Amino acid sequence: MKPSNIRGHRSGYLITSVVFSLLLAALPHAAKAAADTTLFFNPASTSIANDTQFSLAAQVNPGTNAVSAADLRVTFDQTKFRLDSITASASFSLELAAASINNTNGTASIALGVPLSTPSVTTTTTVATFSFHSLSNATNSPIAFTTASLASADNESGNVIITRTPSLVTVTGSADPVPDPDPVPTDTTAPTVMMTDPADGLAVYGTTITVAATATDDVAVASVQFKLDGADLGALDTEYPYVMIWNTKPFSNGTHTLTAVATDTSGNTTTATAFTVTVSNSSSSGNSGGHHKKDKPAKKKIATLAKTRAGERIAPFITIAAPRVGTASAKSLYVQATARDRSGVKNMVFSIDNKYVKKKSAGSAISYTYAKSNINKGTKTFYIIALDNLGNKKTAGITLANGKVVSIRYW
C-alpha cells in the first residue's frame, strides 16, 4: 500500500520525508476511523466548449467526522484536458505538500490541512479548486480521485474516506487539440535525488525498514527506483512520496549499499549518493523492523512535557545539519540541528551520554561545540531533543566512537 503525506490527526509539520499512511498507523490511542467521509468534485458533470477554461471544486463531506486534512490525488485524460493550477481553499489553507501537476501523464496532487488555530470542518467544504483547459472533444470523460486520496479527522486513526466521486466532463467543438503557442524546448536537465532513510551507517533488522528518497526536477519526476547492491529493490515508484518498506530477512547479514535512481519525464536519470547499512538479523530479531541499540534519552534535567492536546500526537521533525556519519574529530565536534512542527517548536535540548544537559535553546534551532580532551576516547552519545508546544517530543542521537561519528538515529 502506498504511503501518503499527512496523518489521521491534526498534526505537526512532520509531513515531508515522513509518510502519510505510516503516520496514520502510528497513533496507538486513537479510535478506529469512522469511514463515512465522502470526496467529490463539484460540479459532478459539466459540458463545455473546446479550448475553454473551466474549474472543478474538490469538496469533502465529513459525515460524522471533523476533517482536519486531505491528500488529493487526481487523474485525467491529458489528451482532453490540461491542468493549469490548483488553488487551496480558505478553510484548508495549510499547505502540507505542494501542488504537483504532470500534464504528460495526466496526474496531479496536493496535500492540505486546516490550520491548528481553526476548528476542523464538519460540513461540506471545498478543499481546493482545480483549473483546467479543454483540448479536444470528449464525452463524459472522468476527472477522478485515485484510491490514494486520503483524509484525516480529529481523534480518528486512519483514512476516513469511504467514497471518491469523479466529475464527468463533456467537451464539444473541434477534435483537434489546442496547439502550444511556442514549441516546448528539449529537456536535458537531469533530476536531483537524495536518499533520506534509513540513515547512512545504520544497523537494521527485521521486516519493516522504511526506505525513502526525495527527488525533484525542473519539469517533473517520472519515477524513482530503489536499488540494493546495484539490483532493483521493490517496484518502480511513480508517485510521490518515494518510499517503500524493506523486509531485510531474505538478505545476508553484513554491509549493503542502498541508493535510488530518479528518472524525469524526458528520460534523464540521476543516481543518489549511496548509503551504507548493515543488515543484522538474528533468531531473536522478531518480525518487526528497527535499528539496533537504541539508547533511551536522559530524563534528568530535560524539559518537562506539557499536557498533550487530544488528537495531537505527532512529534517534531529534527534535521541534523552537522555532523554527518563518518565525521572525524581531532579536538572538537560542532553539532547543529533544527526542528519544525505544526504547533511550533517550544525548545530544544542538547545533552551528553544520558546525563548532562549542556544547552537548552528556546525555539527551533540549536548548536553546540563539544571540545573536551576525552573526545577521541571511548564511545559517547549526544542527544538532541525537540519539544513542541503541545508536549510532543522527538529525539536524535549522535554516537561517537573514538572521535568518529558512527551513527545518527531518531526516535
- Which residues make beta-bridge pairs with 408? 398
For 97, the 3-state DSSP assignment is strand
Does residue 158 or residue 315 have the better pLDDT?
158
Centroid of chain to Cα 353: 31
Q: Using a pLDDT cut of 70, give the percent of the chain over it.
A: 79
In angstroms, the CA 31 to CA 14 distance is: 21
Residue with cell 517533473: 220
In angstroms, the CA 165 to CA 167 distance is: 7
Query: Which range (29-33, 79-83, 278-282, 326-330) has the least confidence?
Result: 29-33
Buried b (16+ CB within 10 A) or exposed e, 179-202: eeeeeeeeeeebbebebbbbbbbb
326-333: average pLDDT: 80
In angstroms, the CA 219 to CA 102 distance is: 9
Q: Which pLDDT value is given to residue 135?
A: 93
Residue with cell 505510516: 22
Does residue 135 or residue 329 have the better pLDDT?
135
Contact 289, 205 (CB under 8 A): yes
**pLDDT beyond 80 at 150:** yes
- Supply the Cα-derived Rg of the chain in whole angstroms: 24
Per-residue pLDDT tens digits for 230-245: 999 999 998 877 878 8
In angstroms, the CA 357 to CA 182 distance is: 61
Q: Which pLDDT value is given to residue 132?
A: 97
Q: Which pLDDT value is given to residue 289?
A: 54
Q: Which pLDDT value is given to residue 183?
A: 66
Does residue 183 or residue 347 have the better pLDDT?
347
pLDDT band of 353, cuts 50, 70, 90: confident
Q: Which pLDDT value is given to residue 391?
A: 81
Report the mean per-residue pLDDT for the chain. 80
Per-residue pLDDT tens digits for 165-198: 999 999 997 544 555 566 667 888 999 998 888 8
98-102: average pLDDT: 93
- What region, left, alpha or beta, does residue 162 occupy, with left being phi > 0 and alpha being psi -120 to 50 degrees? alpha
Contacts of 41 (CB under 8 A, 6+ apart): 56, 57, 58, 59, 130, 143, 145, 165, 166, 167
**pLDDT beyond 50 at 21:** no
Residues in the chain: 411
Contact 148, 73 (CB under 8 A): yes
Q: Which pLDDT value is given to residue 380?
A: 86
Backbone angles phi, psi at 20, to 5 degrees: -60, -60
Structure letter (DSSP) for residue 22: H
CATH topology of domain 20-172: Immunoglobulin-like (2.60.40)
pLDDT band of 283, cuts 50, 70, 90: low
Contacts of 214 (CB under 8 A, 6+ apart): 16, 17, 193, 194, 196, 242
For 213, the 3-state DSSP assignment is strand
> Pick from 403, 371, 354: which is nearest to 385 by CA?
354
Tell me which range, 118-122, 360-364, 387-391, is most confidently predicted by mean pLDDT: 118-122
**Location of each CATH 2.60.40.10 domain in the chain:** 192-291, 317-410
Q: Which pLDDT value is given to residue 99?
A: 92
Residue 396 grid cell: 536524535
The secondary structure of 223-266 as a DSSP string is EEEEEETTEE-SS-B-SSSEEEEE--TTSPSEEEEEEEEEEETT
**pLDDT beyond 60 at 26:** no
pLDDT band of 338, cuts 50, 70, 90: confident
CA distances to 6, 35, 151, 217, 307 from 87, in Å: 18, 26, 18, 21, 35
Q: Which pLDDT value is given to residue 236?
A: 93
Q: Which pLDDT value is given to residue 291?
A: 52
**pLDDT beyond 50 at 216:** yes
CA distances to 241, 250, 313 from 89, in Å: 23, 47, 26
Residue with cell 534535567: 301
In this structure, how many other beta carbons lie within 10 angstroms of the beta carbon of residue 314?
A: 25
Structure letter (DSSP) for residue 290: E
Residue 348 grid cell: 530544544
**pLDDT beyond 60 at 306:** no
In angstroms, the CA 102 to CA 110 distance is: 12
**Location of each CATH 2.60.40.680 domain in the chain:** 20-172
- Does CATH number 3.40.1280.10 belong to domain 192-291? no
Q: 36: exposed, middle or buried (C-beta count within 10 Å: 0-12, 13-18, 19+)?
A: middle
The CATH number of the domain covering residues in 317-410: 2.60.40.10
Q: Which pLDDT value is given to residue 373?
A: 74
